[in-house]
Structure 1
Amino acid sequence: MKKAFMVKSVVLAMVMAGGISSAMAATSGSSSTVQGGTVEFKGSVVDAACAVTADTTNQVVNMGQVKLSAFTGKDSVANQKTPFSIKLADCDTTIASQASVTFDGNAAAGEAGVLDNTSGAGNAAGVGIQIYDKDGSALDLGTASQAVTLIDGDNTLNFSADYYQTADTATAGSVDTTATFNVTYQ
């Protein structure tokens, strides 16, 4: 009887040890840590009548494709205006009642209002981008848009952009350029 009890105790101890060992192995085998990457947070705190919304702070305007034959010579446009907007949130008209936007960037040679195409392999030559105000008038870089009367809350400032032939001869290729903008509150 004593021997049977001892055998049962040893067997029970072995089973328990195996179970604990298996549980530990299962726990340690199901968890691992790997390098995942980084998360970058960007923003700013402003002391102004409104805040520019995050979705329009760094936006990409997809201009689409246009045929080279759309241009008729230097200073012609493709007549394919692409709308875009700058959204202002949480506006307080007791601080300012109007807002205007000034765009800036690398101007094409001899064209104060046209953003120069980034040069490089595969890029179009003799073509830039012209920005237009809400009424369709061309905006020169560094010149404020028409002032928009603000309302309390959210406001949208509408613009458009079009391809612009900057040289006597244009060639096909990619068009990539960047404009920065500032909002002035009055």
Structure 2
Amino acid sequence: MSMKKMVLALAVSSVVAMTAQAANQGGGKINFHGEVVDAACSIDANSLKQTVELGSVAKVALYKGGKSTPVDFTILLHNCDITDKTTTTVQFKGIAGESAEGLDKAFAVSGAAAGALGVVVTDAGGNVIAPGAKSSAFTLNDGDNELNFKAYMQGASNASSAIAPGGFTATADFLMDYQ
């Protein structure tokens, strides 16, 4: 093969290779979201939108006010500056269950298992935090802090076969109140 043909073949190969590399190989878009707040602490991004899995519980365990095993969850705080504010309470807001069924301190559920069932939130010591109520005060430390809670399913006080099997959801928004 002559030198001219080799150079020509090399040039053609290079153009073909560059064209192959220039093809779109997929992509997407990333949105960034955040918020600046005037508060004593920053809330960890993973604490802002949590899903607490309460598991699969036999409906008979929830009869007549029965409860499932509590599941731990945590709100993590970072960069706390306790110069002016040394404590915080947490308020969980949402729809309360039916008071006639003994679920007024529980969050109402929706879905197939809705009705004679609610989700109860407590502090780490087991003290119930009813929908709309504030927790006891947590003492803050400079830097990072963990606020520990528990949640469990609770059947209505008069529930028996009225508890339907199936999935459910409940929602509680939380608000920090630094003092």
TM interval, short-chain normalised: 0.7 to 0.9
User: Which of residues 147, 154, 166 is equivalent to 1:157?
Assistant: 147
Q: Considering only CA atoms, is the larger Rg found in Structure 1 or Structure 2?
A: 1
In structure 2, the CA distance between the partners of 1:79 and 1:64, relative to structure 1 (3 Å rule), is closer
Q: TM-score, normalised on structure 2? A: 0.87
Residue 93 of structure 2: aligned partner: 104
Deviates more, 1:31-40 or 1:61-70: 31-40
Contact 1:48 1:95 in 2 (8 A): no
- Aligned-CA RMSD value: 1.8
Superposed displacement of residue 142, structure 1: 0.9
Comparing 90-99 with 24-33, which one deviates more in the overlay? 24-33
User: For structure 2, which runs of at least 5 residues remain unmatched after alignment?
Assistant: none
| Aligned residue type for 1:159 | F
The TM-score, its normalising length taken from structure 1, stands at 0.84
Residue 115 (1) aligns with residue 104 (2): no
1:95 aligned residue (73, 79, 84): 84
Question: Does the CA contact (< 8 Å) of 1:128 and 1:175 recur in 2?
Answer: no
* Cα offset, 1:35, TM superposition: 4.4
What SS does the aligned partner of 1:160 have?
A: strand
Structure 1: 5+ residue stretches without partners = 1-7
| Counterpart Cα distance in 2 of 1:22 and 1:151 | 65
1:112: how far off? 3.3
Which of 158, 173, 176 is the matching residue for 1:180?
173
Q: How many residues align?
A: 172
The answer for the alignment partner of 1:3 in structure 2 is none
Structure-2 residue corresponding to 1:46: 37
Letter of the 2:173 partner, please give it. T
Retained in 2: the 8 A contact 1:49–1:91? yes
Match of 1:137 in 2: 127
Correspondence for 2:117 among 127, 134, 137: 127
1:64 to 55, 62, 65: 55
Which of 156, 167, 170 is the equivalent residue of 2:163?
170
* Contact 2:57 2:68 survives alignment (8 Å): no
Does 1:16 pair with 2:12?
no
CA distance in 2, matches of 1:115, 1:60: 15
- Matches of 1:66 and 1:157, distance apart in 2: 26
